[in-house]
Structure 1
Amino acid sequence: MRAAHLMGIGGPEMLEIRHDVPVPRAGPGDVVVRVGACGLNNSDINTRVGWYSRSIHTATEESGYKDADLGDVGWSRKGLSFPRIQGSDVVGVVVEAGEGVSAALMGRRVMVDPCLRDRRRPDDLDLAGYLGSERDGGFAEYCAVPSENAYPISTDLPDVELAAFPCSWSTAEHMLQLANLQAGETVAVPGASGGVGSAAVQLAKLRGARVVAIAGASKLDQVRELGADHVVVRQAGGVPQEAVEANRGRFHVVADVVGGEDFGGWLEALRRGGRYVTSGAIAGPIVDLDLRTLYLKDLTLHGATVYHPRVFADLVGHIETGAVRAIVGGAYLLSDIHAAQQDFLTKRHVGKLVITL
């Protein structure tokens, strides 16, 4: 089969398009999915360049970190084995079912939950992994996944749109569930034009919250169309305070995937008892925290990565009812995956970039 093999840590040249990769077989409890499309995520770039390593302290770079500690470059902060097939946003049709799997899944169109859990201890977060990092993913014609991660879905959305949902939208849903965002509350969404941010805007509005979204000047109209009550231009310095002014008061929740130098400002932008939730740090992972702000304002900080299966089930429900819509910023053939990853890093798009098979 055709697949994009990641051969090691580095730039786009570490991705090799192969035509002789064996088709995976379904082991006990697994299914094989014929992939129709697979979304591209920050995690694909971060894994390729080694950014998850604790030895790296800066924002994501295209060339890769030659000095990254290979012992913790994976999504789970463990080492990776190469070659690895990346791609966590798998949408397709089940073509093989392993031992112990219901035959009813055969031929079903599925969307795959990328969060991999230990079957014997599914609640043990330390045993979790991620599709495309700890296990081969969807940048290939076929992908083997645990059957419990393959969710049959009834929707008229084409594969290219459906593949924009799994990683980003489950992350955003998880963030808002952790923060316990309620109707009538206010939330700030830095990075609102990206996959997670654009999902968070829609999911927050679905909850009846008031949303202030932050995005680049060229993307404001598109972000506003997602339902944001106010949009603030992303710029160097002062953004959290501008968001507070647009909101006419401090926020109940900040849902942040940007991090970097604005981190302290976002804590100041929270009202007493506010909740800050993060699942990314594209502007930089090392931040300053004034503990006085944390305890004097009774704030709660949440990190959001591994989620309960109900999060993905809730997302499937939102899609099937038509309550949310995917934003696809571009579609690429598997053979163009190098260009797709380079375009992804420019951040000129709104929503998700998707690889079609």
Structure 2
Amino acid sequence: MWQDREIRFDVDTRMLRLIPGEFTLDRIENVEDTKGNNGDRGIFRITNLRLIWHAQAMPRINLSIGLNTVAGIQSKKASSKIKGETESMYVTAKAPQTRFEFVFTSLGTAQAVTRLFSTTQSINRAYETTRLYRELKMRGPIVDEDGRLRILPGEQQVDKIDGVWNLSSEQGNLGVMICTNLRVVWFATMSVGYNVSIPYMQLANCRVRDSKFGLALVIDTTPQSGEYILGFRIDPEEKLKNTCRSINSLSKAASLKPFFGISKRESDTHSDEESGEIAVRATRVDAFAAYFSDGLVSSEPRGPVFNEDLGLAVEQLRPGFSLAQLWEVHVE
């Protein structure tokens, strides 16, 4: 899967189609790729894996920016051929041995400008906080002090196997293996901090093979997660084989309907007839966005203005924000 981990330019439009488990969170029309295609109107889509932009007149001119490559999102002034000097969204993205900067400008209302930035920022934060769904993790806070797995939202525990030996050291470590609908977890009985969490999307192969410890359960992970080979000893042999079959079955089910960690609330969605997709629309202004830095050094800082309600001078707010919105507290 490359969608969340790569930056691709002008790909075949078929590669912009959503893969299983990927869905559109917002779709914004009249967005300009100000840096690469200044003057061209386009459509900007935010999915749970990537940012997609394509020109309205010529869809083969497009961008696919994986959320895993995004290093920063800022709101700064830019010069648009259509809109002139205006507030735009700057996206910094990293690739092997290079960095890219993308500038997107909403050509719509002030509300659309705010929505472009706040929605992208919110989804990027959600992606960062849901890495356990997608990435192999070792020695993480995945088990509490009482030896109970910290269940993720949308996760269901399927099986728990006691007396599982991790064969990574000469003498082995006794522990517990837990299989859920999303991942395989093992942790040591004597030290729950010694653990590993393997999402099924990072599991390349699971099999039973002979080792110097006898028959062992061997899990191979994908190149994306480091190509680890993890061995576990489970007795008796029948229990070992049943565990292997169970993991393979759960992995197959997860691959048919993958869950990448970001969910959409059906109550906030509506059908987009033009794209045939369900889109989550921004329902409020993100106050965090109003305070988000314009950069460490700003050539045109926003000057102070007198606010009659506060009786104080405050920094001028960006278009689309009001002082009242900054005092609102939203509980998700």
TM-score in terms of structure 2 length: 0.25
Greater relative CO, 1 or 2 (CA 8 Å, sep 6+): 1
Structure number, greater radius of gyration: 2
Report the structure, 1 or 2, having the larger helix content: 1
